[in-house]
Amino acid sequence: MIATPPYWLDGARPIAPELRGTHEADIVVVGAGVCGASAAWALAEAGVRTAWVEGRGVSQGASGRNAGFVLQGTAERYSRAVSLMGRERARAVHQASRENHRAMAEVREALRIDCGYQRRGSLQLAGSEQEEGELLESAAMLREDGFSAEVRSGAALDAVYREAGFRVGVHIADDGELDPARFVRGVAHAAMEQGVALFERSPVVAIEAPAPGEAVVRTAHGEVRAQLALVCTNAYAGELIPWYADKVDPVRGQMLATAAAPPLFGCPVYADHGFDYWRQDEHGRVVLGGWRNLDVEGEKGTAEVLHEGIQARMEAFLQRFPGMRGVPVTHRWSGTMGFSRDGLPIVGAVPGLPGALGAVGFTGHGFGFAWVCGRALVELAMDGQSEIADRFSVRRFVG
Ligand SMILES: Cc1cc2nc3c(=O)[nH]c(=O)nc-3n(C[C@H](O)[C@H](O)[C@H](O)COP(=O)(O)OP(=O)(O)OC[C@H]3O[C@@H](n4cnc5c(N)ncnc54)[C@H](O)[C@@H]3O)c2cc1C
């Protein structure tokens, strides 16, 4: 059981110093994953004096440990999302994730971040007759609500999937993929160039609000004094701020990457109700993750350990594809997702901590939501309002 670094962070080096002594800023961001990067970049663009404090290194949390899918919607199939939150809300949430993708693609383009971004859509595969029914129902509802969802079966489903035993898939146009660490690190470099003071290897031990309009972020060797703190620590939110502890659960996900394989998978794919997912990146490597449902209880917590049973099942699954036989696994790692109690991000004030706003609880789909949520914190801070913050308001957990 040894944790190993993710493929995406091979050779990555620190890009910023540790926080030492007292530093002053107008706003301090805590956490340097995709959410913190979005907030830091929005502040940099607005010319706000910003400090940004990360406990490890930029994108060393879930944002550099995931599969790099940029999907629309929540972790639930659309039909299930509709039954959980109602049609109108499900549609609006889905729309928010599309806006998230649009905004990420725009910043990637503007900052010229080389992160293997592609927009080839995604494919949901059904592993059973029951799941086929769910997929078809979801696809019909998506189309009724104005989104694209193309059913593929028979010859319309690529042979590579049919040979592996799948019969029905639904292709979602517009979904994307990227190297998540290169994206987040690219934004971090740009933010630093705009004057954001980033500190790495500086775990925050406390956030205090000594007086209205004051926030103090403390680490073992330093502190940032600001007017406001933005909390972007997702799965780890409850460790720092007890209010989040019973609202965001840390859940582990296992991943592996192979050596370059022949071209097999034309877009990001997910199966078994989204539990299993894989894609082939621009170098031909297959990145595969999931199978958490084999040990739901065992995969709770923030320790980035390997689960040997799940890793073995993931590797065995690849053998269902003849083109993957003999292709070695080169990397294995795990990462920690933050599951909110209702599957949606929690954005806005941090109850009990007047000097802070937070955006956490991305429930396995942070690259579908965290960019607009990080930006929403800055909208709240500067304009006092944000449509995204209203949509994912903390109010549903208060009172
Ligand atoms: C295996 C796996 C696969 C996934 N696949 C996908 C996918 O394909 N597509 C998708 O959309 N989502 C995926 N996700 C989820 C996605 O990675 C997350 O939702 C997203 O990265 C969350 O971003 P974040 O910035 O909120 O959190 P994080 O990236 O976790 O960033 C939080 C940061 O806060 C820092 N931090 C925590 N506590 C402190 C502290 N006290 N002081 C200072 N810093 C602190 C951490 O070190 C970390 O860097 C996956 C996750 C995992 C684990």
Beta-sheet pairing, 269-271 with 122-125: parallel
- CATH code of residue 166: 3.30.9.10
Which numbered atom of ligand 1 lies nearest the CA of 59? 49
Please give the structure tokens belonging to residue 90: 């499900």
> Is residue 288 situated within a structural domain?
yes
Which ligand 1 atom sits closest to the C-alpha of 252? Answer: 53
Angle, alpha carbons 62-66-71 (nearest 5°): 110
Q: Is residue 284 part of a domain?
A: yes
Closest residue (by CA) to atom 50 of ligand 1?
66
Please say if the pLDDT value at position 2 is more than 60: no
Positive or negative, the CA dihedral 365, 336, 246, 219 is: negative
Residue 399 has pLDDT above 80, yes or no: no
User: Range with the lowest mean pLDDT among 2-6, 160-164, 189-193?
Assistant: 2-6
Measured in angstroms, how far is the CA atom of residue 64 from the centroid of ligand 1? 7
Question: Average pLDDT, stretch 80-106?
Answer: 97
Residue 64 Cβ < 6 Å to ligand 1: no
pLDDT level of residue 212 (50, 70, 90 thresholds): confident
Q: Which two tokens stand for residue 285?
A: 């490597």
> Confidence class of residue 342 from pLDDT cuts 50, 70 and 90?
very high
Half-sphere exposure for 267 (CA within 13 Å, toward CB): 21
Percentage of the chain beyond pLDDT 70 is 99
Report which ligand 1 atom has the smallest distance to the Cα of 333.
1
pLDDT digits (tens, 9 = 90+) for 162-172: 999 999 999 99
Distance between CA atoms of residues 388 and 138, nearest Å: 24
Average pLDDT of the residues in 151-172: 96
Measured in Å, residue 172 CA sits from the centre of ligand 1 at 24
Give me the domain span that covers residue 297: 117-176+249-335
DSSP string, 290-337: E-GGGSTTTTBSS-----HHHHHHHHHHHTTSGGGTTPPEEEEEEEEE
Q: Which of 8, 236, 333, 350 to mutate to test the pocket of ligand 1 (most atoms within 8 A of CB)?
A: 236
Residue in 337, 375, 392 to alter for ligand 1 test, most ligand atoms within 8 A of Cβ: 337
Domain-located, residue 256: yes
Task: Assess whether the C-beta atom of 255 lies below 6 angstroms from ligand 1.
Answer: yes
Residue 274 lies inside a defined structural domain of this protein: yes
Instruction: Determine the Cα–Cα distance for residues 125 and 161; give it in Å rounded to an integer.
Output: 9
Whether the pLDDT of residue 185 is over 50: the answer is yes
Q: Is the dihedral of CA 368, 372, 374, 377 positive or negative?
A: negative
C-alpha distances out from residue 131 to 136, 254, 316, 353, Å: 9, 23, 22, 44
How far is CA 162 from each of CA 5, 126, 147, 321, rounded to the nearest angstrom? 33, 11, 26, 10
CB of 349 closer than 8 Å to CB of 48 = no
Whether residue 364 contacts residue 273, with contact meaning beta carbons closer than 8 Å, is answered with no
Task: Give the Å distance between the CA of 132 and the centre of ligand 1.
Answer: 31
Residue 4 is predicted with a pLDDT of 73
16-29 per-position pLDDT tens digit: 999 999 999 999 99
67 Cα nearest atom in ligand 1: 8
Q: What is the mean pLDDT of the chain?
A: 96
Residue 278 located in a structural domain = yes
As for how many domains the chain has, the answer is: 1
Rounded to the nearest whole angstrom, what is the distance from the C-alpha of residue 288 to the centroid of ligand 1?
Answer: 17
Cα of 258 to ligand 1 centre, how many Å?
22
Distance 335 CA to ligand 1 centre (A): 8
> Where are the alpha helices (H) located in 145-198, listed in sequence order?
159-163, 180-193
Q: What is the mean pLDDT of residues 117-139?
A: 96
Residue 1 has pLDDT above 50, yes or no: no
Considering the domain boundaries, does residue 242 fall inside one?
Answer: no
Domain assignment present for 353: no
Q: Span 224-238, mean pLDDT?
A: 98
**Is residue 3 very low, low, confident or very high in pLDDT (cuts 50, 70, 90)?**
low
Label residues 375-390 b or e (16+ Cβ within 10 Å = b): bbbbbbbeeeebebbe
Query: What's the rounded mean pLDDT across residues 259-280?
Result: 96
Calculate the alpha carbon distances from 132 to 81, 137, 158, 304, 393 in Å. 17, 9, 16, 34, 34
Residue 222 lies in a domain: no
